Protein backbone atom coordinates (compact mmCIF):
# COMPACT_ATOMS: atom_id res chain seq x y z
CA UNK A 1 0.00 0.00 0.00
CA UNK A 2 1.44 3.36 -1.08
CA UNK A 3 0.36 6.87 -0.15
CA UNK A 4 0.26 9.75 -2.62
CA UNK A 5 0.00 13.50 -2.15
CA UNK A 6 -3.18 15.46 -2.90
CA UNK A 7 -1.02 17.93 -4.86
CA UNK A 8 0.58 15.25 -7.00
CA UNK A 9 4.16 16.42 -6.72
CA UNK A 10 5.66 14.49 -3.80
CA UNK A 11 7.11 10.99 -3.74
CA UNK A 12 4.74 8.12 -2.87
CA UNK A 13 5.46 6.74 0.60
CA UNK A 14 4.70 3.66 2.68
CA UNK A 15 2.29 3.91 5.62
CA UNK A 16 5.13 4.22 8.11
CA UNK A 17 6.95 6.89 6.06
CA UNK A 18 3.75 8.87 5.57
CA UNK A 19 2.99 8.62 9.29
CA UNK A 20 6.43 9.85 10.32
CA UNK A 21 6.40 12.68 7.74
CA UNK A 22 3.00 14.26 8.34
CA UNK A 23 2.64 16.77 5.50
CA UNK A 24 3.84 15.84 2.00
CA UNK A 25 6.82 17.84 0.71
CA UNK A 26 4.70 19.53 -1.98
CA UNK A 27 2.44 20.93 0.75
CA UNK A 28 -0.26 18.31 0.10
CA UNK A 29 -1.77 15.65 2.33
CA UNK A 30 -1.14 11.94 1.97
CA UNK A 31 -3.99 9.65 0.91
CA UNK A 32 -3.93 5.95 0.04
CA UNK A 33 -3.31 5.26 -3.63
CA UNK A 34 -6.24 2.85 -3.48
CA UNK A 35 -8.75 2.31 -0.70
CA UNK A 36 -9.08 -1.37 0.28
CA UNK A 37 -12.63 -2.71 0.21
CA UNK A 38 -14.42 -4.74 2.89
CA UNK A 39 -17.08 -7.04 1.48
CA UNK A 40 -20.54 -7.36 3.07
CA UNK A 41 -19.27 -10.67 4.51
CA UNK A 42 -16.25 -8.93 6.06
CA UNK A 43 -18.55 -6.32 7.63
CA UNK A 44 -21.01 -8.95 8.89
CA UNK A 45 -18.09 -10.72 10.53
CA UNK A 46 -17.49 -7.64 12.71
CA UNK A 47 -20.71 -8.28 14.67
CA UNK A 48 -19.96 -9.10 18.28
CA UNK A 49 -16.22 -8.39 18.04
CA UNK A 50 -14.45 -6.18 20.58
CA UNK A 51 -13.51 -2.63 19.53
CA UNK A 52 -9.87 -3.74 19.34
CA UNK A 53 -10.66 -6.63 16.99
CA UNK A 54 -12.71 -4.36 14.73
CA UNK A 55 -9.82 -1.87 14.76
CA UNK A 56 -7.37 -4.56 13.66
CA UNK A 57 -9.54 -5.78 10.78
CA UNK A 58 -10.42 -2.30 9.50
CA UNK A 59 -6.91 -0.81 9.67
CA UNK A 60 -4.69 -3.79 8.83
CA UNK A 61 -4.86 -3.49 5.01
CA UNK A 62 -3.68 0.14 5.19
CA UNK A 63 -0.67 -0.43 7.36
CA UNK A 64 1.69 -2.52 5.22
CA UNK A 65 4.68 -4.56 6.35
CA UNK A 66 6.23 -2.06 8.75
CA UNK A 67 4.32 -3.71 11.59
CA UNK A 68 3.67 -7.45 11.86
CA UNK A 69 0.14 -8.66 12.66
CA UNK A 70 1.23 -9.56 16.16
CA UNK A 71 2.88 -6.21 16.88
CA UNK A 72 0.00 -4.25 15.35
CA UNK A 73 -2.60 -6.14 17.42
CA UNK A 74 -0.54 -5.59 20.55
CA UNK A 75 -0.23 -1.84 19.91
CA UNK A 76 -3.99 -1.58 19.37
CA UNK A 77 -4.61 -3.40 22.65
CA UNK A 78 -2.30 -1.04 24.55
CA UNK A 79 -3.90 2.02 22.91
CA UNK A 80 -7.39 1.39 24.20
CA UNK A 81 -6.65 -0.33 27.52
CA UNK A 82 -6.82 2.98 29.41
CA UNK A 83 -10.25 4.01 28.12
CA UNK A 84 -12.92 4.53 30.75
CA UNK A 85 -15.58 2.42 29.01
CA UNK A 86 -15.42 -1.26 28.10
CA UNK A 87 -17.07 -0.66 24.73
CA UNK A 88 -14.53 2.17 24.04
CA UNK A 89 -17.09 3.94 21.78
CA UNK A 90 -20.53 3.16 23.25
CA UNK A 91 -23.70 3.92 21.32
CA UNK A 92 -26.58 5.51 23.24
CA UNK A 93 -30.10 5.89 21.89
CA UNK A 94 -31.29 9.51 22.00
CA UNK A 95 -34.62 9.10 20.24
CA UNK A 96 -36.17 6.49 17.95
CA UNK A 97 -33.73 6.23 15.03
CA UNK A 98 -31.21 8.69 16.50
CA UNK A 99 -28.09 7.45 18.29
CA UNK A 100 -25.17 9.17 19.97
CA UNK A 101 -21.70 7.68 19.55
CA UNK A 102 -19.83 8.63 22.71
CA UNK A 103 -16.21 9.21 21.72
CA UNK A 104 -15.09 10.88 24.94
CA UNK A 105 -14.11 8.02 27.21
CA UNK A 106 -10.39 8.23 26.42
CA UNK A 107 -7.73 9.73 28.68
CA UNK A 108 -8.26 13.37 27.61
CA UNK A 109 -12.03 13.14 27.13
CA UNK A 110 -12.29 13.82 23.38
CA UNK A 111 -12.46 11.75 20.20
CA UNK A 112 -8.82 12.63 19.46
CA UNK A 113 -7.71 9.96 21.93
CA UNK A 114 -8.87 7.18 19.58
CA UNK A 115 -6.24 8.13 17.02
CA UNK A 116 -3.65 9.77 19.21
CA UNK A 117 -3.27 6.87 21.65
CA UNK A 118 -2.60 4.56 18.70
CA UNK A 119 -0.25 7.00 16.97
CA UNK A 120 1.75 7.30 20.18
CA UNK A 121 2.22 3.53 20.20
CA UNK A 122 3.02 3.35 16.46
CA UNK A 123 5.56 6.19 16.67
CA UNK A 124 7.31 4.66 19.66
CA UNK A 125 7.55 1.25 18.00
CA UNK A 126 8.76 2.66 14.65
CA UNK A 127 11.25 5.13 16.13
CA UNK A 128 12.76 2.55 18.48
CA UNK A 129 13.18 0.09 15.60
CA UNK A 130 14.76 2.79 13.40
CA UNK A 131 16.86 4.33 16.20
CA UNK A 132 15.49 7.79 15.33
CA UNK A 133 14.12 10.74 17.27
CA UNK A 134 11.59 13.33 16.06
CA UNK A 135 10.22 16.73 17.01
CA UNK A 136 6.45 16.72 16.91
CA UNK A 137 4.79 20.08 16.45
CA UNK A 138 1.02 20.24 16.67
CA UNK A 139 -1.54 23.01 16.26
CA UNK A 140 -4.64 22.84 18.39
CA UNK A 141 -7.90 24.56 19.10
CA UNK A 142 -7.90 22.60 22.35
CA UNK A 143 -8.40 18.86 22.02
CA UNK A 144 -5.69 17.64 19.63
CA UNK A 145 -3.06 19.26 21.84
CA UNK A 146 -4.05 17.59 25.07
CA UNK A 147 -4.49 14.23 23.34
CA UNK A 148 -1.05 14.50 21.71
CA UNK A 149 0.62 15.49 24.97
CA UNK A 150 -1.02 12.57 26.75
CA UNK A 151 0.10 10.14 24.04
CA UNK A 152 3.72 11.33 23.81
CA UNK A 153 4.58 12.58 27.32
CA UNK A 154 7.74 11.04 28.70
CA UNK A 155 8.80 9.27 25.49
CA UNK A 156 12.58 9.42 24.94
CA UNK A 157 12.47 9.61 21.14
CA UNK A 158 10.07 12.56 20.93
CA UNK A 159 9.77 16.21 21.90
CA UNK A 160 6.22 17.50 21.54
CA UNK A 161 5.43 21.20 21.01
CA UNK A 162 1.79 22.23 20.97
CA UNK A 163 0.76 25.63 19.61
CA UNK A 164 -2.60 26.78 20.93
CA UNK A 165 -4.37 30.13 20.50
CA UNK A 166 -3.85 32.15 23.68
CA UNK A 167 -7.14 32.79 25.48
CA UNK A 168 -9.21 30.80 23.00
CA UNK A 169 -9.35 27.34 24.56
CA UNK A 170 -11.39 26.26 27.58
CA UNK A 171 -9.69 26.28 30.97
CA UNK A 172 -9.85 22.48 31.21
CA UNK A 173 -8.28 22.14 27.76
CA UNK A 174 -5.54 24.62 28.67
CA UNK A 175 -4.72 22.92 31.95
CA UNK A 176 -4.60 19.52 30.26
CA UNK A 177 -1.83 20.94 28.09
CA UNK A 178 0.04 23.05 30.63
CA UNK A 179 0.13 20.79 33.69
CA UNK A 180 2.06 17.70 32.50
CA UNK A 181 5.47 17.72 34.16
CA UNK A 182 7.47 15.72 31.61
CA UNK A 183 10.35 17.66 30.07
CA UNK A 184 9.62 16.56 26.51
CA UNK A 185 6.27 18.41 26.64
CA UNK A 186 6.16 22.07 25.55
CA UNK A 187 2.84 23.97 25.59
CA UNK A 188 3.04 27.21 23.59
CA UNK A 189 0.28 29.84 23.90
CA UNK A 190 0.42 31.75 20.64
CA UNK A 191 -1.17 35.07 19.65
CA UNK A 192 -3.98 34.66 17.12
CA UNK A 193 -6.50 31.91 16.54
CA UNK A 194 -6.27 28.24 15.59
CA UNK A 195 -5.84 28.95 11.88
CA UNK A 196 -2.71 30.98 12.71
CA UNK A 197 -1.29 28.08 14.73
CA UNK A 198 -2.03 25.68 11.87
CA UNK A 199 -0.57 28.07 9.29
CA UNK A 200 2.72 28.43 11.23
CA UNK A 201 2.88 24.64 11.54
CA UNK A 202 2.49 24.26 7.78
CA UNK A 203 5.13 26.96 7.25
CA UNK A 204 7.52 24.86 9.33
CA UNK A 205 6.82 21.80 7.18
CA UNK A 206 7.43 23.85 4.04
CA UNK A 207 10.78 25.14 5.33
CA UNK A 208 12.86 22.10 4.42
CA UNK A 209 16.03 23.21 6.26
CA UNK A 210 14.10 23.54 9.48
CA UNK A 211 11.96 20.47 8.80
CA UNK A 212 14.94 18.22 8.17
CA UNK A 213 17.11 19.89 10.82
CA UNK A 214 14.72 19.17 13.70
CA UNK A 215 13.29 16.01 12.07
CA UNK A 216 9.80 17.52 12.15
CA UNK A 217 6.76 15.26 12.51
CA UNK A 218 3.08 16.17 12.74
CA UNK A 219 0.17 14.57 14.53
CA UNK A 220 -2.66 16.80 13.40
CA UNK A 221 -5.12 15.15 11.09
CA UNK A 222 -2.90 16.20 8.20
CA UNK A 223 -1.24 12.92 9.26
CA UNK A 224 -2.98 10.06 7.46
CA UNK A 225 -2.59 7.74 10.46
CA UNK A 226 -4.88 10.05 12.46
CA UNK A 227 -7.64 9.73 9.89
CA UNK A 228 -7.21 5.97 9.61
CA UNK A 229 -7.65 5.33 13.33
CA UNK A 230 -10.88 7.36 13.23
CA UNK A 231 -12.36 5.14 10.48
CA UNK A 232 -12.77 2.31 12.99
CA UNK A 233 -15.66 3.70 15.02
CA UNK A 234 -17.76 4.23 11.90
CA UNK A 235 -17.53 0.47 11.33
CA UNK A 236 -18.04 -0.55 14.96
CA UNK A 237 -21.13 1.64 15.38
CA UNK A 238 -22.71 0.83 12.00
CA UNK A 239 -22.15 -2.90 12.54
CA UNK A 240 -23.84 -2.71 15.92
CA UNK A 241 -26.92 -1.19 14.23
CA UNK A 242 -27.07 -3.93 11.61
CA UNK A 243 -24.64 -3.04 8.79
CA UNK A 244 -24.20 -4.27 6.12
CA UNK A 245 -27.90 -5.23 6.02
CA UNK A 246 -28.99 -1.78 7.21
CA UNK A 247 -27.73 1.60 5.98
CA UNK A 248 -26.90 4.31 8.50
CA UNK A 249 -26.11 8.04 8.30
CA UNK A 250 -23.68 10.03 10.43
CA UNK A 251 -23.67 13.62 11.61
CA UNK A 252 -20.25 14.90 12.57
CA UNK A 253 -19.44 18.14 14.41
CA UNK A 254 -16.81 19.46 12.02
CA UNK A 255 -13.89 21.87 11.95
CA UNK A 256 -10.76 20.52 10.29
CA UNK A 257 -12.81 17.89 8.36
CA UNK A 258 -10.65 15.00 9.65
CA UNK A 259 -13.35 13.12 11.50
CA UNK A 260 -15.96 13.28 8.76
CA UNK A 261 -13.32 12.43 6.17
CA UNK A 262 -12.71 9.22 8.14
CA UNK A 263 -16.42 8.47 7.64
CA UNK A 264 -16.02 9.05 3.92
CA UNK A 265 -13.15 6.55 3.86
CA UNK A 266 -15.36 4.02 5.69
CA UNK A 267 -17.95 4.54 2.96
CA UNK A 268 -15.35 4.07 0.23
CA UNK A 269 -14.30 0.86 1.95
CA UNK A 270 -17.82 -0.50 1.51
CA UNK A 271 -19.65 0.51 4.69
CA UNK A 272 -23.25 1.26 3.66
CA UNK A 273 -23.45 4.91 4.71
CA UNK A 274 -26.35 6.90 3.35
CA UNK A 275 -25.35 10.44 4.29
CA UNK A 276 -22.44 12.15 5.98
CA UNK A 277 -23.70 15.38 7.51
CA UNK A 278 -21.18 18.14 8.21
CA UNK A 279 -22.34 20.10 11.28
CA UNK A 280 -20.64 23.46 11.87
CA UNK A 281 -20.90 26.23 14.43
CA UNK A 282 -21.14 29.91 13.43
CA UNK A 283 -17.73 29.57 11.76
CA UNK A 284 -19.55 27.87 8.94
CA UNK A 285 -17.19 28.03 5.96
CA UNK A 286 -17.78 24.34 5.14
CA UNK A 287 -21.55 24.70 5.28
CA UNK A 288 -21.36 27.76 3.03
CA UNK A 289 -19.08 25.97 0.62
CA UNK A 290 -21.23 22.85 0.36
CA UNK A 291 -24.30 25.09 -0.11
CA UNK A 292 -22.88 27.49 -2.71
CA UNK A 293 -19.57 26.10 -3.99
CA UNK A 294 -17.72 29.13 -2.64
CA UNK A 295 -15.01 28.49 -0.06
CA UNK A 296 -14.47 32.01 1.22
CA UNK A 297 -12.62 32.94 4.42
CA UNK A 298 -14.25 35.16 6.98
CA UNK A 299 -13.23 36.39 10.43
CA UNK A 300 -13.12 33.59 12.99
CA UNK A 301 -15.72 34.38 15.64
CA UNK A 302 -15.02 32.83 19.05
CA UNK A 303 -17.80 30.47 20.09
CA UNK A 304 -18.85 28.17 22.93
CA UNK A 305 -17.55 25.28 20.77
CA UNK A 306 -13.96 26.60 20.51
CA UNK A 307 -12.51 23.39 19.08
CA UNK A 308 -14.50 24.05 15.89
CA UNK A 309 -13.50 27.72 15.49
CA UNK A 310 -11.72 27.01 12.22
CA UNK A 311 -11.72 28.54 8.73
CA UNK A 312 -8.90 26.68 6.99
CA UNK A 313 -10.25 23.18 7.15
CA UNK A 314 -7.20 21.10 6.27
CA UNK A 315 -8.78 17.78 5.37
CA UNK A 316 -11.24 19.34 2.96
CA UNK A 317 -8.27 19.18 0.60
CA UNK A 318 -8.44 15.38 0.73
CA UNK A 319 -12.14 15.46 -0.23
CA UNK A 320 -11.40 17.95 -3.03
CA UNK A 321 -8.71 15.63 -4.39
CA UNK A 322 -11.32 12.90 -4.91
CA UNK A 323 -13.94 15.36 -6.15
CA UNK A 324 -11.50 16.57 -8.84
CA UNK A 325 -10.90 13.00 -10.04
CA UNK A 326 -7.75 12.49 -7.95
CA UNK A 327 -5.88 15.08 -9.96
CA UNK A 328 -3.39 17.06 -7.86
CA UNK A 329 -3.08 19.96 -10.33
CA UNK A 330 -6.47 21.65 -9.71
CA UNK A 331 -6.14 20.96 -5.99
CA UNK A 332 -2.74 22.71 -5.85
CA UNK A 333 -4.30 25.62 -7.77
CA UNK A 334 -7.23 25.93 -5.31
CA UNK A 335 -4.87 25.83 -2.35
CA UNK A 336 -2.88 28.65 -3.94
CA UNK A 337 -6.07 30.69 -4.38
CA UNK A 338 -6.93 30.06 -0.73
CA UNK A 339 -3.88 32.12 0.25
CA UNK A 340 -5.70 35.15 -1.17
CA UNK A 341 -8.96 34.47 0.64
CA UNK A 342 -10.81 31.62 -1.01
CA UNK A 343 -11.72 29.62 -4.09
CA UNK A 344 -14.70 28.41 -6.05
CA UNK A 345 -15.35 24.68 -6.42
CA UNK A 346 -16.27 23.66 -9.97
CA UNK A 347 -19.83 22.45 -10.58
CA UNK A 348 -18.66 18.88 -11.30
CA UNK A 349 -16.57 18.73 -8.13
CA UNK A 350 -19.39 20.22 -6.05
CA UNK A 351 -21.78 17.57 -7.33
CA UNK A 352 -19.22 14.89 -6.49
CA UNK A 353 -18.94 16.25 -2.93
CA UNK A 354 -22.73 16.43 -2.55
CA UNK A 355 -23.04 12.76 -3.46
CA UNK A 356 -21.61 12.04 -0.02
CA UNK A 357 -21.88 15.16 2.13
CA UNK A 358 -24.70 17.42 3.23
CA UNK A 359 -24.31 20.15 5.83
CA UNK A 360 -25.94 22.33 8.45
CA UNK A 361 -24.96 24.89 11.06
CA UNK A 362 -26.01 25.75 14.59
CA UNK A 363 -25.94 29.24 16.08
CA UNK A 364 -24.79 29.82 19.65
CA UNK A 365 -28.40 30.08 20.86
CA UNK A 366 -29.38 26.88 19.05
CA UNK A 367 -26.41 25.06 20.56
CA UNK A 368 -27.36 26.16 24.07
CA UNK A 369 -31.00 25.25 23.48
CA UNK A 370 -29.96 21.77 22.32
CA UNK A 371 -27.87 21.20 25.45
CA UNK A 372 -30.88 22.25 27.52
CA UNK A 373 -33.37 20.05 25.71
CA UNK A 374 -31.13 16.98 25.37
CA UNK A 375 -30.59 17.08 29.11
CA UNK A 376 -34.23 17.70 29.95
CA UNK A 377 -35.82 15.25 27.53
CA UNK A 378 -33.19 12.59 26.84
CA UNK A 379 -31.14 12.74 30.06
CA UNK A 380 -27.95 13.25 28.03
CA UNK A 381 -25.48 15.97 28.96
CA UNK A 382 -23.87 17.14 25.71
CA UNK A 383 -20.75 19.22 25.19
CA UNK A 384 -21.37 22.21 22.87
CA UNK A 385 -19.68 20.48 19.88
CA UNK A 386 -21.81 17.37 20.25
CA UNK A 387 -24.89 19.56 20.70
CA UNK A 388 -24.23 21.13 17.30
CA UNK A 389 -24.19 17.63 15.84
CA UNK A 390 -27.44 16.65 17.55
CA UNK A 391 -29.19 19.84 16.44
CA UNK A 392 -28.18 19.47 12.79
CA UNK A 393 -28.93 15.73 12.82
CA UNK A 394 -32.42 16.31 14.16
CA UNK A 395 -33.08 18.76 11.31
CA UNK A 396 -31.71 16.56 8.58
CA UNK A 397 -32.37 12.97 9.51
CA UNK A 398 -34.47 10.75 7.38
CA UNK A 399 -36.89 8.64 9.44
CA UNK A 400 -36.09 5.53 7.38
CA UNK A 401 -32.34 5.54 8.08
CA UNK A 402 -30.79 5.42 11.58
CA UNK A 403 -28.72 8.50 12.30
CA UNK A 404 -25.57 8.32 14.42
CA UNK A 405 -24.32 11.64 15.80
CA UNK A 406 -20.74 11.72 16.97
CA UNK A 407 -20.32 13.05 20.53
CA UNK A 408 -16.81 14.38 20.19
CA UNK A 409 -15.98 15.65 23.68
CA UNK A 410 -17.00 15.16 27.30
CA UNK A 411 -19.23 17.91 28.71
CA UNK A 412 -16.76 18.43 31.59
CA UNK A 413 -14.27 19.97 29.15
CA UNK A 414 -16.68 22.90 28.64
CA UNK A 415 -18.36 23.22 32.05
CA UNK A 416 -19.35 26.89 31.82
CA UNK A 417 -21.52 26.59 28.71
CA UNK A 418 -22.93 23.25 29.85
CA UNK A 419 -23.84 24.61 33.28
CA UNK A 420 -25.45 27.71 31.81
CA UNK A 421 -27.59 25.60 29.49
CA UNK A 422 -28.47 22.70 31.76
CA UNK A 423 -28.07 23.94 35.31
CA UNK A 424 -25.59 21.11 35.94
CA UNK A 425 -21.84 21.57 36.24
CA UNK A 426 -20.36 18.33 34.90
CA UNK A 427 -17.55 17.09 37.15
CA UNK A 428 -14.21 15.90 35.78
CA UNK A 429 -13.57 12.19 36.15
CA UNK A 430 -11.85 11.19 39.41
CA UNK A 431 -8.42 10.66 37.82
CA UNK A 432 -8.21 14.35 36.86
CA UNK A 433 -10.12 15.79 39.79
CA UNK A 434 -7.02 17.77 40.91
CA UNK A 435 -6.45 19.34 37.46
CA UNK A 436 -7.11 22.83 38.81
CA UNK A 437 -4.56 22.41 41.62
CA UNK A 438 -1.64 21.37 39.42
CA UNK A 439 0.96 24.05 38.53
CA UNK A 440 0.94 25.23 34.92
CA UNK A 441 3.97 25.53 32.64
CA UNK A 442 3.52 27.38 29.35
CA UNK A 443 5.52 29.56 26.97
CA UNK A 444 3.89 32.66 25.46
CA UNK A 445 4.80 33.30 21.81
CA UNK A 446 4.05 35.79 19.09
CA UNK A 447 2.50 34.67 15.82
CA UNK A 448 5.91 34.72 14.20
CA UNK A 449 7.55 31.87 12.34
CA UNK A 450 11.14 32.86 13.15
CA UNK A 451 10.39 33.16 16.88
CA UNK A 452 8.68 29.78 16.93
CA UNK A 453 11.50 28.06 15.07
CA UNK A 454 14.07 29.52 17.48
CA UNK A 455 12.02 28.43 20.48
CA UNK A 456 11.88 24.86 19.17
CA UNK A 457 15.54 24.70 18.15
CA UNK A 458 16.63 25.95 21.58
CA UNK A 459 14.54 23.37 23.43
CA UNK A 460 15.41 20.16 21.60
CA UNK A 461 18.61 18.17 22.20
CA UNK A 462 21.33 19.15 19.67
C1 LIG B 1 -14.63 18.38 20.43
C2 LIG B 1 -14.41 18.51 18.97
N3 LIG B 1 -15.44 18.32 18.13
C4 LIG B 1 -15.29 18.43 16.80
C5 LIG B 1 -14.08 18.76 16.23
C6 LIG B 1 -13.99 18.84 14.76
O7 LIG B 1 -13.34 17.70 14.25
P8 LIG B 1 -12.56 17.80 12.87
O9 LIG B 1 -11.50 18.82 13.05
O10 LIG B 1 -12.00 16.43 12.68
O11 LIG B 1 -13.54 18.19 11.86
C12 LIG B 1 -12.98 18.98 17.06
C13 LIG B 1 -11.64 19.35 16.56
O14 LIG B 1 -11.10 18.81 15.70
C15 LIG B 1 -13.14 18.81 18.44
O16 LIG B 1 -12.09 18.94 19.26
N1 LIG C 1 -10.29 20.77 16.86
C2 LIG C 1 -8.93 20.44 16.74
C3 LIG C 1 -8.22 21.20 15.66
C4 LIG C 1 -7.10 20.41 15.07
O5 LIG C 1 -7.64 19.32 14.42
P6 LIG C 1 -6.86 18.05 13.90
O7 LIG C 1 -7.88 16.98 13.94
O8 LIG C 1 -6.36 18.40 12.58
O9 LIG C 1 -5.72 17.75 14.83
C10 LIG C 1 -8.27 20.54 18.08
O11 LIG C 1 -8.93 20.28 19.06
O12 LIG C 1 -7.13 20.88 18.20
* Nearest-angstrom CA–CA distance, 64 and 24: 19
Decide: 394 in ligand 1 pocket, CB within 6 A. no
How many angstroms is it from 408 CA to the middle of ligand 1?
7
How many angstroms is it from 413 CA to the middle of ligand 2?
15
- Which 3 state secondary structure label does DSSP give 29? coil
Decide: 280 in ligand 2 pocket, CB within 6 A. no
Which ligand 2 atom is the nearest neighbour of the CA of 315?
A: 8
* Closest residue CA from atom 3 of ligand 1: 408
How many angstroms is it from 41 CA to the middle of ligand 1?
32
Q: Are strands 185-190 and 158-165 parallel, antiparallel or unpaired?
A: parallel
Decide: 143 in ligand 1 pocket, CB within 6 A. yes
Which pLDDT value is given to residue 462?
Answer: 79
Which pLDDT value is given to residue 269?
Answer: 98
List the chain residues with pLDDT less than 50: none
Catalytic residues: 112
Return the ligand number nearest the Cα of 137.
2
Decide: 410 in ligand 1 pocket, CB within 6 A. no
The DSSP-derived string for 108-127 is TSBTHHHHHHHHHHHHHHHH
- Which 3 state secondary structure label does DSSP give 158? strand
Decide: 315 in ligand 2 pocket, CB within 6 A. no
256 φ, ψ (degrees, to nearest 5):
-90, 5
* Closest residue CA from atom 12 of ligand 1: 307
Cβ-count burial of 272 within 10 angstroms (0-12 exposed, 13-18 middle, 19+ buried)?
middle
Quick one: which H or E segment has residue 295? strand 294-296
How many angstroms is it from 131 CA to the middle of ligand 1?
33
Which ligand 1 atom is the nearest neighbour of the CA of 310?
A: 9
What domains lie within the chain, and their CATH numbers?
87-106+224-422 (3.40.50.1100)
Which pLDDT value is given to residue 66?
Answer: 87
Q: Which of 141, 162, 170, 190 to mutate to test the pocket of ligand 2 (most atoms within 8 A of CB)?
A: 141
Which pLDDT value is given to residue 407?
Answer: 98
Which ligand 1 atom is the nearest neighbour of the CA of 261?
A: 10
Which pLDDT value is given to residue 148?
Answer: 98
Query: Smallest Cα–Cα separation from 368: which of 379, 349, 383, 347?
Result: 383
* Closest residue CA from atom 9 of ligand 2: 220
pTM attached to this predicted model: 0.98
How many angstroms is it from 450 CA to the middle of ligand 1?
28
* Nearest-angstrom CA–CA distance, 101 and 460: 39
Strand partners, 360: 279
141 φ, ψ (degrees, to nearest 5):
-100, 10
Decide if 204 contacts 197 (C-beta within 8 A). Answer: no
Which ligand 1 atom is the nearest neighbour of the CA of 259?
A: 10
* Closest residue CA from atom 11 of ligand 2: 143
Burial 64-76 (b: 16+ CB within 10 A, else e): eebbeeeebbebb
How many angstroms is it from 47 CA to the middle of ligand 2?
31
Decide: 319 in ligand 1 pocket, CB within 6 A. no
How many angstroms is it from 346 CA to the middle of ligand 1?
27
Amino acid sequence: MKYISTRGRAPALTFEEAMLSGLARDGGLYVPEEVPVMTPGDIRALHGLSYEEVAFRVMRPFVGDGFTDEVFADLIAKSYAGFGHGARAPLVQLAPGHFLLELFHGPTLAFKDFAMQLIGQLFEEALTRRGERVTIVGATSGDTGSAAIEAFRGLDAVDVFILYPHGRVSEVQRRQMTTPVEENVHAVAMDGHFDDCQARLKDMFNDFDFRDGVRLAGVNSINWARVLAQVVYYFSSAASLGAPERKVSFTVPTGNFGDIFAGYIAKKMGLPIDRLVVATNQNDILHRCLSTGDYRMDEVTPSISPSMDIQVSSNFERALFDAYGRDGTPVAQLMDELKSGGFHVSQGALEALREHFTSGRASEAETMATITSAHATMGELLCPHSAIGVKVAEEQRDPGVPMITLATAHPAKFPDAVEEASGLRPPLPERMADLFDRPERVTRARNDLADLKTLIQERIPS
